[in-house]
Amino acid sequence: MKILSDFKLSVDPHEVKQHLQRAKASIPSVANKEDLKQIFSLIDLTTLSEQDNSVNVSRLCEKVNQLSDIYPDMPRVAAICVYPELVSVVKEKLDNPLTGIASVGGGFPASQTFTNIKVMEIEQAIEQGAEEIDIVMQVGKFLMDDLEYVVYEIQVIKQRIGPVHLKVILETGSLQELDLIRKASLLVIGAGANFIKTSTGKISPGATPEAMVVMCCAIRDYYQRSGRKIGIKPAGGISDTSTALLYFHIVKEILGDDWLNSELFRIGASRLANRILGEIFDKGPDYSYF
């Protein structure tokens, strides 16, 4: 694999530890409300339950539509992320043009189906209104070292969807070793991913600070060599403001302020949006708006 031959693939645990220490040290003792608002604007507001239907997804869209009336000082969320079959509901109900429509696809969450089926599902989601697609890297093939297949599949999907943003989930909890997380990051970036994402949220562990550091370092190294900026999306278990602030400061520490916007940084979450609203407006940790 040419993309892998251009980079060192081993991870220095000491470097990971240093980045984490610096990121943690930069977090203020009292959360800055402007930082929390900025994090809110990076959220892909996600509902991926087997119980999802047109009723609860419509309700979520209405909440997003009404947010600026109820909380005029709050920014919009970056996107609403749903299963492909519910994209049309978001397209119909969402009134805020600044909030994108994202869909998982490609046999989510296991990615264990045929490539042509993945492409068909993704194309149908885009026809229904999806502007961003989140897929899962074929982890089984990756662990077998069938890297050509992994790259081929991502390339085929990216070619078919063109300018639509493609976020590729590594499912870092299944990779376990930091060296494998770095290898997977560089591999899918080279295959054409616009974003790399930690987790589906369907297995444990989801996102971890260590995985996030390794992925950010891979993005940094690729950018320094190519000049191409790749986005980063932690997801899976990010439900409180302290965790979100840590990921925010990891990105700031390694990638810098240029990445602190929704074009290059997203956070996949559902409960986090409520926690941020509760903290900013002194409504307590159990506040529920969405």
Residues tagged active-site:
134, 197, 233
Cβ count near 281 (within 10 Å): 15
| Helical H segments across the chain, by residue range | 2-5, 13-25, 33-40, 54-70, 87-93, 115-128, 139-143, 147-161, 172-175, 178-191, 209-226, 241-254, 271-280
Q: How far apart are CA 290 and CA 287, in angstroms?
A: 9
Residue 77 is given by DSSP the state: P
Exposure class string for 78-116: b at 16+ Cβ within 10 A, else e: bbbbbbbbbbbbbeebbeeeebbbbbbbbbbbebeeebe
Cis peptide before 28 (omega within 30 of 0): no
Q: How far is CA 27 from the centre of its chain?
A: 22
The three-state secondary structure class of 63 is helix
